[in-house]
Amino acid sequence: MSAVIELKDVHKSFGQVEVLKGVSLAVERGEAIAVIGRSGSGKSTALRCVNRLETIQSGEINVCGHPVHDPKLDVRKLRLDVGIVFQSYNLFPHLTVEENIMLAPVTVKKLRKAEARALAAQALARVGLAEKAQSYPEQLSGGQQQRVAIARSLAMQPQVMLFDEVTSALDPELTGEVLRVMEDLAKGGMTMLVVTHEMGFARKVADRIVYMHQGRVWEVGDGSMLANPQTPELRAFMAHDL
């Protein structure tokens, strides 16, 4: 199998601070990869580089056949293939849930409204919010808003989904409902790269876990690596997490 997402020796700096120090990582189609690590380890920066929200200094990133490192990259085409969900939901408060989801398919993909509405209904059903189509964001809980944000990305029918700490602003009960949606997506074969501090989710759902430390990929393995760390750094991280 060829990788859908591939990073090769990626370096990224902000001014004099080198945040990514030669990161290499490959994600196969249908894989769910969890990226864990301390704050400042470079995990969110790596994710943002995959979607070209950040440009890199050196190395290569290829995503769904798009050379992300190429200055001539067609960013619009890349983002048709790659959905991203952030910690903040960024829903438009003056639009209904359905209108929020329809917006990109209509404006970016130029779909007819009826077609976009059908996609919105399908996406809302996938995140368990079919009955909330005519609600406004302020009428929803934080967990429901985050699930709408996931539905909004799904409606664009991406090949890959990126999740950047999507539950970090939610309380435990709401976190659970969002993680269940993500687990269902993984079971359905969606290729996912998930930056998370939810160790239970990483252990249960991820095909592989990537532990980042000081801008490097430090350790990679399946869920068992969290119980049996091979490096003192991951051991210390897990001890702190517990």
- SS percent in the chain: helix, strand, coil, step 5: 40, 25, 35
Q: How much of the chain exceeds pLDDT 90, in percent? A: 93
CATH number at residue 98: 3.40.50.300
pTM: 0.94
Range of the domain at 153: 3-241
Tens digits of residue pLDDT in 148-195: 999 999 999 999 999 999 998 888 888 999 999 999 999 999 999 999
| Domain total in the chain | 1
Confidence tier at 57 by pLDDT (50, 70, 90) = very high
Say how many Å lie between the first and final Cα of the chain, rounded.
36
- 118 Cβ contact partners less than 8 Å away, ≥ 6 residues apart: none
Residue 144, CB half-sphere, CA atoms under 13 Å: how many?
13
Residues found in the chain = 242
